Chains A and B, each alone.
Chain A
Amino acid sequence: MMPPLLALQGVSKSFGGLEVITDVAFNVEAGGRTALIGPNGAGKTTLFNLISGVYRQDKGSIALSGEDISDIASRRRIGLGMARSFQNIRLMPHLSVTENIMLGQQARAGSLADMLTPLSLFGRTKWRREAEELLGRMGLDTYPGEVVATLPYGIRKKIEVVRALAASPKLLLLDEPAAGLNPTETAALSDFLAEIAETGVTLLVVEHDMGFVRSLCDHAVVLNFGRKIYDGPTGSVQEDPDVLEAYLGRRNRNEDAAASAREGIHAA
């Protein structure tokens, strides 16, 4: 049997005395679109940082295509087929749009010859052409030479996704891609990501917007206080009692019960 594209087993992580990820295990199957959801502070971004190698887990293992990547340096992981975006836009503000995309190609262009070939001095090199083509395919070719800091938020959000795509990843990790977008932009982003998924890229998406999650993802993993509380199809996530409790508190018959629940008495 093919190993899952991404497999987490017994992953835990503490900062000082605070355990923020506790014994989390789940698989992301190749070709799937998985959502990672949970209330604020549930540990979603920390989990992304563990997967991409910004932090190292204290316990457990993270495997990509069946190979344990726990000991692989963060900068080498993108070369293995895993690229990510960030919760707060982290494009390089002083680089142009095309240059940001070309930075995304770095994992495939790290040889000395690639490093010392001009990208634009004598006509456009294959890397620049490839970056501009990718921007064109994603409908972002109106701004190639603009310095990123001057562009609108929604555009920058999309450019960050395209930068991750420039690495030709098998697995794309997106941290709240729809945060801060208006409903029209969110719908457009959802279509945009669905198109990317059509090309065979597996998505793992952290997102709060449940409408966005339902329209894009087929599978959901829910975290609460650093523990996995749900792992199943997106369709039934909102009926799951544990998930409801995590988001809404305990379900109660009446107001009095709610009050006693606050005092720690089990009423439901």
Chain B
Amino acid sequence: MGGYWSGILAILAINVIFAYGIFLPVATGQLNLGGAGFQAVGAYAAAYMSYTYDWPVALTLILAMVVTGGIGFAVAFPILRLRGVYLVLGTFAFAEVVAGLILNSETLGGAIGLPVPAFVDYEVPVVLAALVTLFVFYLMATRFGLVMRAVHDDEVVSDLMGVSLRGVKVAAFAVGAGLCGLAGGLYAHTFTYVEIQAFNALVSINVLLFVLLGGTQTAFGPLIGAAFFTLLPEALRVLLPQLQASVASLFGAAGDMRAPDDSWRFVILGCVTVLMMVFRPEGLVTRTLVERFKPRRRSGLAAAEASA
């Protein structure tokens, strides 16, 4: 496999894990716009241990997950008191605080960043992404998953049904933070360098977009969302010049020989995003869509109604 595709595959795998980290709180109705902050914590934890103490990759990844999950757990208690747009701003502010702290830390390399001696090839993120995907599908099939979706739909009723709202939200937020940390650790070892500019607000926005546009009702959503939005810009990189050439030939021109302007890819990406919000406001993959592909379990009466 060429270096280009293995690179894409590694980014895709990291993005899938990252998206699941944001999906878990979002599935309980808590928008997390601090993804880059959690990813940065994981990336720097792994990078620091690898750079300073030469820890093996397996240990740095576990540490990245545990540290970020722990910080997510601690932050969840105050931050989940916020609701709606205030929660979004709160998580966003958290990411800014993390970035500020790292930028001013000599130990973590400040603005220069840290090199990561241990490199991992694409297989590691791909295998871990598969494991994380299985884990999230499992989690969503448990009663915990049921309760997460219930809290998303109606908090008052969930509470009266005996659900511990805070317990569910904090657990989803902390486990999600742990997954963001794992994605960060993998990022560090894949790119062998961490600098805080890589974990900016745009990263937080993008990963939240993966989840919201992929669909928050089932575990398929983030998978599809991350895959779609990671691969679309790459596909456009190939397709856009062809598109330009064919448009040019329509007008009789012999084809535009200029190098394709890279920013057009993001224009198209933005348009696709808007279109998806208009036509699939609940995300690309919804619960009803998944049900449609399952074997029918309706019996007599409903079938009779359908045929009548």
Are A and B bound to each other?
yes
Please state if A117 and B142 are interface contacts (CB–CB under 8 Å): yes
Given contacts A74-B159, A75-B164, A142-B302, contact A103 B146 (CB under 8 A): yes
Count, chain A residues at interface, CB 8 A: 44
**Nearest B residue to A122 by beta-carbon distance?**
B141
- Interface flags for A55-84 (1: CB within 8 Å of B; 0: not) read 000000000000000000011111100001
Q: Given A75-B160, A145-B291, verify A121-B138 contact (CB < 8 Å).
A: yes
Kindly identify which residue among B153, B160, B161 contacts A94, using a CB–CB cutoff of 8 Å: B153
Q: How far is the CB of A266 from chain B (nearest CB, A)?
A: 44
Question: A84: which of B149, B152, B160 is its contact (CB, 8 Å)?
Answer: B160
Number of residues on chain B facing chain A (CB within 8 A): 33
Supply 14 A–B pairs (Cβ within 8 Å), ascending by A: A75-B160, A75-B165, A79-B162, A94-B287, A99-B149, A103-B146, A107-B162, A118-B141, A121-B141, A127-B143, A141-B299, A142-B300, A142-B301, A142-B302
Given the complex of chains A and B, what is the CA–CA distance between A102 and B146 in angstroms?
A: 8
Q: CB of B157 within 8 A of chain A?
A: yes
**Chain B residues positioned under 8 Å from A106 (CB to CB):** 143, 147, 161-163
How would residues 145 to 179 of chain A score, 1 for a CB under 8 Å from any chain B CB and 0 otherwise?
11100100000000000010001000000000000
Chain B residues with CB under 8 A of A38:
none
Say whether B161 contacts A167, CB under 8 Å.
yes
B150-181 to A contact mask, C-beta < 8 Å, 1/0:
10111011111111110000000000000000
Of the listed stretches A85-93, A192-200, A220-228, chain B binds: A85-93
Is A52 at the interface (CB under 8 A from chain B)? yes
Q: Is the pair A75, B301 in contact by a Cβ cutoff of 8 Å?
A: no
Residue among A93, A118, A147 with the most chain B CB within 10 A? Answer: A118
| CB contacts between A and B, total, < 8 Å | 105
**Is A187 at the interface (CB under 8 A from chain B)?**
no
| A115 CB–B CB distance under 8 Å | yes
In the assembled complex, the Cα of A167 lies from the Cα of B294 at a distance in Å of 29
Contacts of B298 in A (CB 8 A): 142-143, 145-146
CA–CA, A90 and B160, complex, Å: 11
B142 to A145, Cβ gap below 8 A?
Answer: no
Report how far A228 CA is from B149 CA in the complex, Å: 40
B303 to chain A, nearest CB (A): 9
B204 contacts which chain A residues (CB < 8 A)?
A: none
Q: Indicate which residue in A103, A145, A150 contacts B150 across the interface (CB closer than 8 Å).
A: A103
A95 within 8 A of B: yes
Q: Is the CB of B149 within 8 A of A92?
A: yes
0/1 interface trace, chain B 276-297, chain A, CB 8 Å (1 if under):
0000000000011001001001
Which residues of chain B in 127-155 are interfacial with respect to chain A, using CB atoms and an 8 Å cutoff? 138, 141-144, 146-147, 149-150, 152-154
Is B143's CB under 8 angstroms from A53's CB?
Answer: no
- By a CB distance below 8 angstroms, the chain A residues around B163 are 75, 103, 106
The answer on a CB contact under 8 Å between B160 and A92 is no
Kindly identify which residue among B160, B297, B301 contacts A145, using a CB–CB cutoff of 8 Å: B297
Q: Return chain B residues, CB-CB under 8 Å to A43.
A: none
Question: With A75-B160, A107-B162, A115-B144 in contact, do A145 and B294 touch (Cβ < 8 Å)?
Answer: yes
CB distance from A96 to the nearest CB of B (A): 8
Does A17 interact with chain B (Cβ within 8 Å)?
A: no
Query: Nearest chain-A residue to B299 (Cβ)?
Result: A142
Q: CB-CB < 8 A to A74: which residues of B?
A: 159-160
A39 at the interface (CB under 8 A from B): no
B217 interface residue (CB < 8 Å to A):
yes
CB contact under 8 A between A150 and B288, given known A93-B153, A114-B143, A142-B302: yes
Residue of A nearest to B217 (CB): A94
Q: Name the distance in Å between A14's Cβ and chain B's nearest Cβ.
A: 21
Which residues of chain B are within 8 angstroms of A52 by Cβ–Cβ distance?
Answer: 160
A110 interfacial contact with B, CB 8 Å: yes
Closest to A82 in B: B160
Q: Which B residues lie within 8 Å of A76 (CB)?
A: 162
Contact between chains at B144 and A95 (CB < 8 Å): no
Assembled-state Cα–Cα distance A140/B217 (Å): 25
